[in-house]
Amino acid sequence: MDYDQVEWERASCGGTDTRYWYADNDAGFVSGESKGINVNLRRICKDCDILNDCATYAIEHEMFGFWAGMAEDERRMVRNGKKNIPFVA
């Protein structure tokens, strides 16, 4: 799935500060469940109308940031077949 195929304007995260989605360790974001911010980001993603498309796009294309309820290391595990995609139907 390409970026242009996703209806990003329907995303629950629209209008949020991108620093939370792409923050580095100095800003308090780390991969996995190590910091509470991931819990809040997951809440935003969980009921998003485009979660499936976002997950498909992110797994295929995004190495950095928090996408579709998954941190960088989680998407890497999905790519490698070591983890299922959370909440995606």
- pLDDT tens column, 20-55: 888 664 444 445 555 567 788 889 999 999 999 999
Is residue 31 included in any domain, yes or no?
A: yes
Whether 1 maps to a domain, the answer reads: no
pLDDT for res 27: 46
User: So what's the pLDDT on residue 72?
Assistant: 87
84 domain-assigned: no
Instruction: Say if 4 falls within a structural domain.
Output: no
Instruction: List the Cα angle 59/12/35 in 5-degree steps.
Output: 65
**Is 88 among the domain residues?**
no
Number of domains the chain contains? 1
Q: Supply the range of the domain harboring residue 19.
A: 15-79
Other Cβ atoms closer than 10 A to 9: 7
Q: Which residues contact 1 (CB under 8 A, 6 or more apart)?
A: 53, 56, 57, 60
CB atoms inside a 10 Å sphere around CB 52 = 16
Q: Is the pLDDT of residue 74 over 80?
A: yes
Residue among 75, 9, 3 nearest 38 (CA): 75
Residue 8 lies in a domain: no
- Cβ distance 72 to 63 under 8 Å? yes
In a domain, 2, yes or no: no
